[in-house]
Structure 1
Amino acid sequence: MEFFTKVKAVKLRSHLDKYLAADDDKETVRQSRQGSARKSRWLVEPVDGNPQLIRLKGIHGSYLAASAAPFLLGMTGNKVVQAKHDDSSETTTEWQPIRDGFQVKLKAAAGGTYLRANGGTPPWRNTVTHDIPLAGSTHNWVLWEAEAVEIPENEALNDYLSLVSSFSSLSDEVFGSEEVESPMSIRSYNSPKLSTKKTGMDLFRNAKAVRLRSHHDKYLLADDDEDSVTQDRNGSAKNARWTVEFVDDDSGGANFLRLKSCFEKYLTASNQPFLLGMTGHKVVQSSPAGRLDSSVEWEPIREGNQVKLKTRYGHFLRANGGVPPWRNSVTHDIPHRTATQDWILWEVHVVEIVIVHSPKPKAVVQAVPRLDEFASDSSSPSTHSAKSNSFGRQESIDSVGSSPPKAADGRAIYYSVADEFGNVNEGDEGHCITFKGNGVDELTRRLEDETGIEDIAVCSRSPLNGKLYPLRLQLPPNNVTMHVVVVPSSSKVARDFAKAGITL
């Protein structure tokens, strides 16, 4: 409940990665992939006299309501519709949020049924009902992921703002009075403080290969049987290295990734139970035949300096502990106990970054005057003219051949000048020089000449956390292209280096 007291509107995402939406007929409620549509936003209204209950108001002014009408005759599950909260005694518009791990269940105040996102074939596909899940396979169907929504100021919905003053009276009896943030995954579309879910990819963005360390200080390991996935303290083993592949979604973004083991197999969330009768399913290495499916795709969700890796079906990669057979095992599951909340958190160690090789500069061909341009002013015999023509062609050839830089001529170094706090203007494309040396001191002197700034530090930016670190001693071998940041010694970031005992 604590989460719903802090937001004005929410989106609810089901286990099928679809959003609860108020249909345009102003009556039906269904699931939709269009999470950015206004019909997927729901206003949160408190219920007077009962701080444990809320109402969810759709874009058409009606409320999410649990109807008494059956969805299909002879089948369990009743309709969920849009209705006015005083329309009929046969509908209830009041819901009780109940936390379940990192997700939430919405319980109808009357009847004790839960809001359920249905899957399968028509007529069940994309429908929403309220029911009590009896089968273990449908338990996740009543779990929803709550995402905070910032309401644009230019929308003509005055009741969005009228709710703010009433939130302070709500209690957190459902979730307790913990000081920490709500464990539900929260996304805010305008506020940077609630955008951690969007920045989970930042820890992988420039990574070509990573290691993942669990809360047990053990690394995710691809077993030598080329099938199992375990944990081990030997992070230097090749089995602990996972190659990162980004998955482009329909919008052109990359919110999901794949992790490939040293055996060229993918980290896969299987549907096989780890132990019969227990929660948690096996995580294995696999090479899906034909097209890669969603079982090998993971969504990184940032949690401080760590990440949670989430499947498309709402489960998280979990590093198990305890006695055998749980010890050192890896499963995917939804943590239900507070004691196991940290089991789905992983540290990302980048072991290889993507080097973007810049294109070679284009050859600049200097125009050489043709012979006939000199002929009119020359009184030389024709033999001299022929010789000049030969010389002119040779000079042109030499100028073309000498223009493109060769590998032996040095490396391309792209540099930008940082401000007082080490930041670089996003619009600054930087400058490029060709550098032949291998020493940092030589490069520093060269960049001082190029920038006209005296006493600088040459830094590189960490692909893991984005922080600047001064270069030391030698540059990388093989004349690889580099991207560096020039930091003036008078800047605050340079003074911070000195305070930390880092010599420039």
Structure 2
Amino acid sequence: MEFFEKSKAVKLRSHLDKYLVADDDQIEVRQSRNGSSRRAQWVVEVVEGKERCVRLKSCHGRYLTASVIPFFLGMTGNKAVQADFEPGSQGIHEWEVIRDGFQVRLRSCCGTYLRGNGGTPPWRNSITHDEPYASATQNWILWDVENVKLLDDFDSFSSSVSDDHCAWEPPSPMSIISVQSPMKSSKFQKNSIKFISGMDFFQNAKAVRLRSHHDKYLLAEEDEESVTQDRNGSSKNARWVVEPVPGYDFVIRLKSCYGKYLTASNQPLLLGVTGRKVIQTQPGRLDSSIEWEPVKDGSRVKLKTRYGNFLRANGGLPPWRNSVTHDIPYRTVTQDWILWDVDVVEIHVQSPPSQNPSAPPLPHSDSLDLPYTKSLKFSRQESGDSNVSSPRKAEGRIIYYHVAEEDGSVEDEGVQGYSLVFKGNGVEELTRKITEETGLEGIIVCCRSPLNGKLYPLRLDLPPNNVTMQVVLVLPSSTVAREFEEQGLL
């Protein structure tokens, strides 16, 4: 609730970096990249008698509501809409705020969550309330909260909007005051984040090495811009200096051997593919793009950006192999790609140890250099490729897939697309696996004929010997699916 307590209006940003906006028809809500629009602002009303519940009122004076209208017949998820307040409506306008790290989930009175949908139309940019059953949709219910506080001129907004709500204009930039970031240290912050914070991995650390689940180290390349993975952990390029961020208890910066910061950029690694580049930069002004929140995950750590993405070590085929991006792992096969082992190679000395008068004096230094120490887990010695075991190969075949549009066309089909590891040969088993990964029900798994380029449903077992395959997913409501039925292919 601290995300909402200090503001009379908020903006909600989904995992797709899109804002929750109220359409001008005063009914629909959707996602949009335009966060500066008045439609992206929601006035907060705390529900009396319910400490963690709020109502959110749009610029049209109507409330964000969990309706009983199905978004799409035969699919899970009901529409989230704008509606007038109805006394005694059993809480359909109320949303319980549940904290999840630096983000929140908004739970309706039905027990479902406000969800920003991705994928192909009609799901793209839609808003529903649903339960994320598939692992691929777990992050679709997480929201970043941008708190804004309206000055006195706009304090009466929430009570004054009525029939003339369309006449309201957004306040000028000078009249909006940003509220203290939720990452800022506070008594509540220390108590609530302690159980997930991974700062223990960096306690007293002056320099560290980060090892991915591929048993490769995060390296700063010699061009002083690129960041990659490499097995040579003894290189100076694998050493990252740890800097605390003043005023923040759970955030760090990482500086390379070239004096540049590990940065979550906005540059896509590859057009049409999720994930943006992680690079080295020396910004003139230190901003949130160089800040990382360590999140503990067992004996390893995840490094989270201010916007909810994670530092990710990519595998697979080039150009993904050895690349480093920041992204959200939607698929089960990539869940471990955001986990890192932390090897402390240099520590801060808090107080000098008592010395034996007969012993030679210790050198005067504020740190101890430990270039060949083992990790905090006391794992194997990392001194090069010869001493590091190769990661185990995934059992099964790699299936690459794209989702077809209504007419069966596929954007960027020449790009590798999404992937999963599949054990088995059966088409039905593969369909169930892809459904679990994507959350798309009733899909038809197809391949493209090399003779005429047309799509055909897969009906025979997959080739033996775990041959890598590329498939196309056709949605059951699409035109091409109806054509399959007419041709007797289903």
Q: Report the TM-score range of the alignment, normalised by the length of the smaller protein.
A: 0.3 to 0.5
Q: How does the TM-score come out when normalised to structure 1?
A: 0.42
Q: How does the TM-score come out when normalised to structure 2?
A: 0.44
Larger radius of gyration: 1
